[in-house]
Amino acid sequence: MPTSENDSPPVYREIAEDVRTAIASGRLSDGDRVPGENDLMKQYGVARATARQALSVLINEGIVVAIRGSGVYVRAFRPLRRHGPRRLSRELWGAGRAIWQADSPDGSFETDSVEVAEVPAPAYVARALGLADEAAVVRRHRRYRLEDRPMQLATSYLPAEFAAGTAIAEPETGPGGIYARLAEQGRAPAHFTEEIRVRMPTPEEAAALHLNAGTPVLDVLRTALTEEHTAVEFNEMTLDGSAYVLQYDFDA
């Protein structure tokens, strides 16, 4: 059956595909300026609205970034490598290092805000920790940044029964962080489970992480358990999806 004109993709999508191909092939590299509205109008003989629509498709996909007053650029992607098993090893926090330091050995990855409070556990947190509904937990909310760029939000919940009134409930928990403090109580984490999903950010998350339009986030939900498989921490992390590579190594 012959293809009708109605079966052809809209012109703006064809233009977006051409630019996408140029990026994928390396003709346009990270940080390069992509053709603007005027360039696309001239090259393809289209109206400004069509050129603008083509660029909007790429911006919403997160492939390019619009910088006000400057132009549209290929998103520079220099990801932070997050090695799941290595960063949680006892050798790290047992030696007095914070687990997030494994993400950036040169020390440029750091926290820039910490909020600590005792609150009733949300229902999903209570389930993860095996607590009664609205049982008291210590909530630790942090934002992490790399060279002044916000990278991650993290909120840990620990049962107030053993966390309240200890260094765990202080903004500065001391060498090795909360896992070292749990170990001092005889509750050292020995097992971890992580669930990962990708979604679009809430407006509050987009603002806190300074995300460009079209940038997704990674949700990492981690539960820390003792040798007896008692849950001692539930950590809800929100990562800038354009800034991370998640690495997991497994034996066959």
In this prediction, residue 1 has a pLDDT band, given cuts at 50, 70 and 90, of very low
Q: Comparing 113-117, 157-161, 210-214, which segment has the lowest mean pLDDT?
A: 210-214
* Residue 23 host element (H or E): helix 11-25
Lowest mean pLDDT among 88-97, 170-179, 193-202: 88-97
Q: What are the residue boundaries of the structural domains of the chain, listed by start?
A: 11-74, 80-247
- Domain 80-247, architecture per CATH: 3-Layer(aba) Sandwich (3.40)
d(CA 66, CA 75): 9
Q: In the prediction, which pLDDT does 18 show?
A: 94
Task: Kindly list the distances between the CA atom of residue 3 and the CA atoms of 12, 14, 15, 16, 240, in Å, as whole numbers in the listed order.
Answer: 19, 16, 20, 22, 42
β-strand partners of 244: 80
> Tokens 């001692």 appear where?
232
What's the pTM? 0.70
Alpha-carbon Rg for the chain, nearest whole angstrom, is: 23
Sorted by sequence, the CB contacts under 8 Å of residue 212 that are 6+ apart come out as 59, 62, 65, 66, 75, 242
The residue-averaged pLDDT of 166-171 equals 95
Alpha-carbon gap, residue 2 to 9, rounded angstroms: 15
Query: What's the pLDDT at 3?
Result: 40
**Higher confidence at residue 147 or residue 25?**
25
Strand ranges (DSSP E) for 78-216? 80-83, 109-120, 136-146, 149-159, 191-199
Contact (CB, 8 A) for 149 and 156: no
Q: Which fold has domain 11-74?
A: Arc Repressor Mutant, subunit A (1.10.10)
3-class DSSP assignment, residue 252: coil
